[in-house]
A and B are shown apart, each in its own frame.
Chain A
């Protein structure tokens, strides 16, 4: 009985450990690179003005990811990098969407003006 209890406890502990165990390995280089690229692209797309919340979130997580790498908390760094990449991608698309909408609105206005000018009776 005592042995059985010990076995149950042991199995349970093993399960717990496997579930909660921190990933022990190298820094998530690929994820970090992807995140940095996403942020760069977002900045290039004008996210600084058009999607500041998402861009700031991405940058903040990037800083945290770098800190996690330095602390050798690689699993934490990986997650932060993944989130930063997702935030950066969203910031970029959001900025592009805003610019595309502005372009569409601008063209629509231009068309209205054109119509008005052309529609004016000649002579």
Chain B
């Protein structure tokens, strides 16, 4: 024990022990690599996917961590602490990668599901499209049916229209017939009017009326009166009867009765005589029913001779009564 050999050994061991004691006494509470490993382990342990898919890795990481911490507390050499810290760190990282794998595989599964969903959706949409196409087809055929119905109604309407048109044509035909009848009636009227005009002409011809500037003039000659007198002889009655009938047939006509004489005798006598003769004619007409308002008289004496007063024959022609027929037919 006290031999020089032991003494040398003691001397040699003393610094070693001192180093050891220093190492133990000042053993660091922390080790950066261990801290790093602990942090990573904490991260892995908190990762549910990592914990589920890599439980063995996680447990061996924890064991390495524990050993590193134990070694650190026990003051073992840093190589040992570093070794287990390293193992803990790598195993934690491995567990974390396992978690990554699990998440990626979940994403793969989700994508597969999504793919199924997309395909299903597409099939559903195709079915929907087929259904709506069928509906469109049905609607189209319905529309065609409606169109056919409408066309039928249209042709029916056209048929009705044709019937109406034919009825209209019938009506037009009847109207034309009525027009023809009206035209015939008008023609008949015209014929009647012509007949009336003809009758007037005949009457005037029978009265031996002459067309003059003053109108139709009927002359009652001297022989129808007694000489120097105003009484009408019976020979004038036939003419007056005809004139009365004419006046009855032509109510718009008026008569101007004018008495004339020859140049023999005084004007006063001649004017008075011519006036009386005109009055006599008027009175005779009124007796036969002619309205007095339609007959005027005037005595004009020797005025307006129609022949020479130098001969007996001329004078006889100048002694006359003229009846001027006025008013238009």
Contact = CB atoms under 8 A, between A and B. Distances in A.
Interface of A: 2-3, 5-6, 8-10, 12-13, 15-16, 19-20, 79, 82-83, 86-87, 89-90, 93-94, 96-97, 100-101, 103-104, 107-108, 110-111, 114-115, 118, 122
A9 B90 CA distance: 39
Nearest to A93: B97
B114 A111 contact: yes
B29 interface: no
Contact of A86 (B75, B77, B90, B108): B90
Contacts of B119: 114, 118
> Which 4 residue pairs of A and B lie closest in terms of their CB atoms, listed nearest first?
A100-B104, A107-B111, A93-B97, A104-B107
B83 A82 contact: yes
A39 to B, nearest CB: 13
Interface in B91-126: 91, 93-94, 97-98, 100-101, 104-105, 107-108, 111-112, 114-115, 118-119, 121-122, 125-126
B16 interface: yes
Given A90-B93, A97-B104, A122-B125, 19 more contacts: A5-B10, A6-B1, A6-B10, A8-B17, A9-B13, A19-B20, A19-B75, A79-B83, A83-B87, A87-B90, A89-B91, A89-B94, A101-B104, A103-B104, A108-B111, A111-B111, A111-B114, A111-B118, A118-B121
Interface in B47-86: 54, 57, 74-77, 83, 86
A106 to B, nearest CB: 9
B167 interface: no
Nearest to A105: B107
A50 to B, nearest CB: 11
Contacts of A103: 104, 108
Given A100-B108, A104-B108, A107-B112, A93 B98 contact: yes
Contacts of A100: 100-101, 104-105, 108
B37 to A, nearest CB: 11
Contact of B90 (A13, A83, A96): A83
Contacts of A97: 97-98, 100-101, 104
Contact of B115 (A10, A16, A87, A107): A107
Contacts of A108: 107, 111
Nearest to A83: B86
B234 interface: no
B308 interface: no
Contacts of A12: 13, 17, 20-21
Contact of B118 (A6, A96, A118): A118
Interface residues of B, number: 42
Nearest to A107: B111
Contacts of B97: 90, 93-94, 96-97
14 contacts: A83-B87, A93-B54, A100-B100, A100-B108, A104-B111, A107-B107, A107-B111, A108-B107, A111-B111, A118-B118, A118-B119, A118-B121, A118-B122, A122-B125
A47 to B, nearest CB: 11
A9 B86 contact: no
A42 B132 CA distance: 56
B129 interface: yes
Contact of B2 (A2, A86, A89): A2
Nearest to B54: A93
B115 A82 contact: no
Contacts of B75: 19
Nearest to B104: A100
A7 to B, nearest CB: 9
Contacts of B111: 104, 107-108, 110-111
A110 B115 contact: yes
A48 B115 CA distance: 32
Nearest to A89: B94
A76 to B, nearest CB: 9
A115 B86 CA distance: 47
